[in-house]
Amino acid sequence: MANKRDFYDILGIARNASDDDIKKAYRKLAMKYHPDRNPGSQEAEEKFKEAKEAYEMLSDPQKRAAYDQYGHAGVDPNMGGFGGGAQGFGGFADAFGDIFGDIFGGGARGGRGGPQVYRGADLRYSMEISLEEAAHGHETQIRVPSWSNCESCEGTGAEPGSKVETCSTCDGVGQVRVSQGFFSMQQTCHRCSGTGKYIPKPCRKCHGSGKIKSQKTLEVKIPAGIDDGMRIRSAGNGEPGVNGGPHGDLYVEVHIKPHPVFEREGDDLHCQMPISFVDAALGGEIEVPTLSGKASFEVPEGTQSGRTFRLRSKGIKSLRTALPGDLYIHVQVETPVKLTDAQKKILRDFEESLQSGGAKHNPQQKGWFDRVKDFFN
């Protein structure tokens, strides 16, 4: 017991703090240290458990009174004090339910006097586009699921001629309270699933949901510069909520098809370009493709295979800064193949002329042989 911190210090509140102050302090700490927001952090997990225990004790009037009078001994079950964990404590369950919704973006909503309201589920749509469409932007249409009121039951969920009744288990509240000794916990009513209503004869067309699933067409604008794996959010085009809850969202996930010429790296483009032995040796102007047309650059005399040339602003316009990336041309000197006897003779004569000129024509070859000689010596 001596090692346990004061519950008020854990939550960072005064000893005369109100119930709302206690709840607000706990919510703040729970949001900060929740394990799902700090995966793999042992320290965050311990702080979350510590804040949870402090809230359990101080949010209950009887436990708080015992703690204020006797300290930790007053609430230690091993010393005759109040015990019990979060699973049986109604106040904690209510607070944690709110926090859970904040962390995971929606979920259950509603007060103690009415049915639970749930936000609709989000939908995901996977779209494949070309590199050109990603670079310049693209507008297209997609077909996604849609829900409308059932015409047969007019959205009530009840078979025509029958009525929707108030749930007798929860009296239309959508929640029931389960008691366990000193403690109680509020749960979603199992009979009506939190709606507060019971349908004796569900509509045969919509099976009691009141909604019919169909398809709708949406216009999607792909911004210029979008990269592979990015998502576009379309608010309110997900599944409908429960009990009047808001619709979820639609997320369009973009994937870019492989390109036959270019490879993308961020906002830059890379291109492997073969050039002839003659062009590499003598140099000259080379024409290359870009996503916006053709461009040319000067290959210097004596260009070696593997050399990279940079064409500024010939890449993809950045989605964030609107500044274009660059195009990198990686030159590959192509060795001639399928030579005729006459061509082979010309090359042998040419090789002899190179050798007679010494090492000045093949500086890389000479350097390599010198390194090999040093290695063996």
pLDDT score for 225: 94
Architecture of domain 7-105: Orthogonal Bundle (1.10)
pLDDT score for 138: 93
Domain extent listing, the chain: 7-105, 119-160+202-258, 165-198, 262-376
Written as one string, the DSSP assignment of 151-195 is TTTTTS-BPTT---EE-TTTTTSSEEEEEETTEEEEEE-TTTTTS
CB 28 within 8 A of CB 37: no
C-alpha span between 174 and 272 (Å, rounded): 65
Tens place of pLDDT per residue across the chain (377 aa):
446 788 888 999 988 888 888 888 888 888 888 877 777 788 888 888 888 888 888 888 888 887 777 777 766 655 445 444 333 333 333 444 343 333 333 445 554 455 667 788 899 999 999 999 999 999 999 999 988 889 899 888 889 988 888 888 888 888 888 776 556 677 778 788 777 888 889 999 988 888 888 899 999 999 999 999 999 999 999 988 877 788 899 999 999 999 999 999 999 999 999 999 899 999 999 999 999 899 999 999 999 999 999 999 999 999 888 789 999 999 999 999 999 999 999 999 988 888 887 666 666 665 666 676 666 76
262-265 vs 268-276, strand pairing mode: antiparallel
Pick one of 2.40.400.10, 3.40.50.150, 3.50.50.60, 2.10.230.10 as the CATH number of 165-198.
2.10.230.10
Query: What pTM, to 2 d.p., does this model score?
Result: 0.58
The CATH number of the domain covering residues in 262-376 = 2.60.260.20
Superfamily of domain 119-160+202-258: Urease metallochaperone UreE, N-terminal domain (2.60.260.20)
C-alpha span between 18 and 15 (Å, rounded): 9
119-160+202-258 and 262-376 share one fold? yes
pLDDT score for 230: 93
Residue 313's nearest CA partner among 269, 271, 272, 273 is 269
Is 146 strand, coil or helix?
Answer: strand
C-alpha span between 189 and 179 (Å, rounded): 14
Q: Which stretches of 189-291 are assigned E, i.e. beta strand?
A: 197-198, 211-222, 231-234, 250-256, 262-265, 268-276, 284-290
Is 25 strand, coil or helix?
Answer: helix
